[in-house]
């Protein structure tokens, strides 16, 4: 491993002379295998690697993350894809390995946000995963290793300029981390928290039936939150993130954003969406944009005219009633919040997106009202006592 990596530039191209190194002069735990990363690439890579490492540690399953601007657009553990999800994720014709299913799920959570992502994978990259990444628009990848055939596939992306990082999976950072802001040094104990049995112990609602599947999904949502810019709320279902509300100043706006993304994820599974007949030669990103516009309510006539050019047959738009009827089938969603819920409005909004299981820090002066709201909807809620801010 090298002692220094010269980066393309810092956060922006005019911030030149950027480099990556260990303060004590030791070798780095990462090595570029193809092209030089930028400052933001490395921030995404190192945060995303920790996320998939924690998921693999907590659940024992291959894990993947799709990262953008220091927050996950999606994260997932390996789980088979049914026909509907395979069609929605554009992988119906592919023979996927467990690791590839994890990435297909991570990418499929929010395909708009994942455009040009940084990928993190917990396991050695195999051919099916590399072959899937080959057709996606992505800026780079970090993983503990690459099969030779997989590495050759990835090296050809972006005209040979796809950024590939290999990380030592045995690397463990120091217990204390430091950061410099405006010339001022800050230091703190590293956040090494991973959800365990105690995290799920304090169920405060009348409902107590926390299944293994619900616990898995709460774990996925919670570990994703750990590496998401705060304030943040994350929804997970079927082993993957389906909606994240990140970097908001109010808790309810986090919930609204996360739930809106989860709603869009589920609406993309509607038969009218899966049955769309796109114009010949339309590329995957254009299809994704066309689906997104299709699901929006506030579209102008000019936007609609441009949108219609994406199809051989223009699909009939979903009415508000059809959307609500479809969304009412979404059940068993897990929600994790990086801090306490101060008002019941968070619970009221969450239940409209199929949330049945929640974990939050607890400790608000209105905990009793929040618990009462969860009980009204028959939810199971855990007050964990653990705050997970990430800045």
Domain 271-317 adopts which CATH fold? Helix Hairpins (1.10.287)
Structure tokens given for 360 = 């939050």
Given the structure tokens 């069609």, which residue do they identify? Answer: 87
Q: How far apart are CA 289 and CA 45, in angstroms?
A: 26
Report pLDDT for 17: 82
pLDDT at residue number 262:
98
CA distance 287 to 309: 11
Please tell me the predicted confidence (pLDDT) of residue 8.
86
CA-closest candidate to residue 359, choices 230, 208, 218, 158: 218
Residue 23: which pLDDT band, with cuts at 50, 70 and 90? confident
Average pLDDT (63-81) is: 96
CA 324 → CA 333, 352, 373, distances in Å? 16, 9, 21
Q: How confident is the model at residue 1 (pLDDT cuts 50, 70, 90)?
A: confident
* CATH among 3.40.140.20, 3.30.43.10, 3.60.9.10, 3.40.50.1100 for 193-267+327-383: 3.40.140.20
**pLDDT tens profile 111-139:** 999 999 999 999 999 999 999 999 999 99
- Give CA angle at 69 (65, 71), nearest 5°: 45
Do the Cβ atoms of 74 and 66 come closer than 8 Å?
yes
Neighbours of 329 (CB within 10 A): 10
For the chain, the average pLDDT equals: 96
The stretch 173-181 carries a mean pLDDT of 93
d(Cα 292, Cα 29) in Å, to the nearest integer?
Answer: 39
The residues of the chain that CATH labels 3.40.140.20 are 4-167, 193-267+327-383
* Pairing between β-strand 240-246 and β-strand 277-278 as defined by DSSP bridges: unpaired
Q: What average pLDDT does range 106-114 have in this prediction?
A: 94
Name beta bridge partners: 337. 233
Q: Over 202-269, what HEC string results?
A: CECCCCCCCCHHHHHHHHHHHHHHHCCCCCEEEEEECCEEEEEEECCCCHHHHHHHHHHHHHHHHHCC
Q: Supply the residues annotated as catalytic.
A: 68-69, 231, 391
CB 188 within 8 A of CB 165: no
CATH T-level fold of 4-167: Cytidine Deaminase; domain 2 (3.40.140)
Contacts of residue 28, Cβ cutoff 8 Å, sequence gap at least 6: 1, 2, 3, 4, 5, 20, 21, 22
CB 221 within 8 A of CB 240: no
pLDDT at 257: 97
Segment 261-299, tens digit of pLDDT: 999 999 999 999 999 999 999 999 999 999 999 999 888
Report the share of the chain in percent with pLDDT over 70.
100
Q: With DSSP H G I counted as helix, E B as strand and the rest as coil, what are the percentages for the chain, rounded to 5?
A: 35, 25, 40
Over residues 28-58, the pLDDT tens digits come to 999 999 998 999 999 999 999 999 999 999 9
> Residue 224 phi/psi, 5° resolution?
-60, -40
pTM of the model: 0.96
Distance, CA of 390 to CA of 81 (rounded, Å): 31
Pinpoint the residues of the chain covered by CATH 1.10.287.440.
Answer: 271-317
pLDDT tens, 150-176?
999 999 999 999 999 999 999 999 999
pLDDT score at 16? 85
* Closest to 348 in 3D by CA, of 375, 326, 368: 375
Residue 358 pLDDT exceeds 90? yes
């Amino acid at each position: 491993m090298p002692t220094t990596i010269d980066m393309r530039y810092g956060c922006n191209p005019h911030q030149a002379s950027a480099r990556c190194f260990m303060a004590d002069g030791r070798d780095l735990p990462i090595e570029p295998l193809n092209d030089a990363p930028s400052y933001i690439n490395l921030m995404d890579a190192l945060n995303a690697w920790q996320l998939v490492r924690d998921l693999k540690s907590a659940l024992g399953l291959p894990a993947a993350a799709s990262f953008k601007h220091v927050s996950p657009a999606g994260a997932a553990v390996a789980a088979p894809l049914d026909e509907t999800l395979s069609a929605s994720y554009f992988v119906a014709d592919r023979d996927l390995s467990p690791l590839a299913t994890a990435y297909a799920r991570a990418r499929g959570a929010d395909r708009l946000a994942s455009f040009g992502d940084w990928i993190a994978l917990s396991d050695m990259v195999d051919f099916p995963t590399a072959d899937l990444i080959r057709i996606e628009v992505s800026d780079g990848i970090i993983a503990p290793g690459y099969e030779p055939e997989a590495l050759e596939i990835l090296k050809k992306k972006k005209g040979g300029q796809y950024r590939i990082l290999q990380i030592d999976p045995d690397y463990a950072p120091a217990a204390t981390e430091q950061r410099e802001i405006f010339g001022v040094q800050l230091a703190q104990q590293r956040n090494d928290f991973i959800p365990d049995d105690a995290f799920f112990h304090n169920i405060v609602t009348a409902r107590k039936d926390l299944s293994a599947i619900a616990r898995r999904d709460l774990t996925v949502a919670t570990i994703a939150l750990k590496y998401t810019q705060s304030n943040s709320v994350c929804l997970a279902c079927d082993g993957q993130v389906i909606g994240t509300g990140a970097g908001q100043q109010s808790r309810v706006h986090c919930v609204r954003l996360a739930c809106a993304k989860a709603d869009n994820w589920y609406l993309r599974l509607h038969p009218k969406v899966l049955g769309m007949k796109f114009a010949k030669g339309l590329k995957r990103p254009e299809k994704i944009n066309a689906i997104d516009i299709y699901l929006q309510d506030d579209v102008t006539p000019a936007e609609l005219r441009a949108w219609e050019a994406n199809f051989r047959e223009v699909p009939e738009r979903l009415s508000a009633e059809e959307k609500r009827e479809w969304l009412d089938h979404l059940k068993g969603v897990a929600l994790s919040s990086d801090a306490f819920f101060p008002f019941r409005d968070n619970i009221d909004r969450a239940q409209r997106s199929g949330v049945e299981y929640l974990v939050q820090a607890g400790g608000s002066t209105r905990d009793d009202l929040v618990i009462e709201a969860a009980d009204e909807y028959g939810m199971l809620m855990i007050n964990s006592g653990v705050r997970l801010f990430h800045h």
